[in-house]
Amino acid sequence: DKFMCYCKTGAADLVASVQAAETKMPAVTSALGEATAQKAQLETNLAQHKTDRAAAEDAIKEATALREKEAGVFAKDSGDYKSNIAATGKA
């Protein structure tokens, strides 16, 4: 008796479920397209940011090297100036 009820109503439930899925299909397809486009945009942004980061790191390395060179020149010149001032003070 239970199974007979299922056989009578099961087909109707199945048809309703298929119709509901077919109704949702365009919305899901549209959402999938939007997600794919967004993923492509994010991948492009990521590649650009990686390039920008590499350029920034190179600029930092160059600036650091320049500062180290200038610091060495300053230390040498500063030592010379200090010794000259000390010699002038003794004279």
Cα 39 to its chain centre, rounded Å, is: 12
Q: How much is the pLDDT for 68?
A: 96
For 35-77, how does the pLDDT look when each residue is reduced to its tens digit (9 = 90+)? 999 999 999 999 999 999 999 999 999 999 999 999 999 999 9
Provide the residue count of the chain: 91
Coil/strand/helix, residue 91: coil
**How far apart are alpha carbons 56 and 50 in whole angstroms?**
10
- pTM, entire model: 0.56
Q: How much is the pLDDT for 75?
A: 94
**How far apart are alpha carbons 63 and 75 in whole angstroms?**
18
Residue type, 61: K
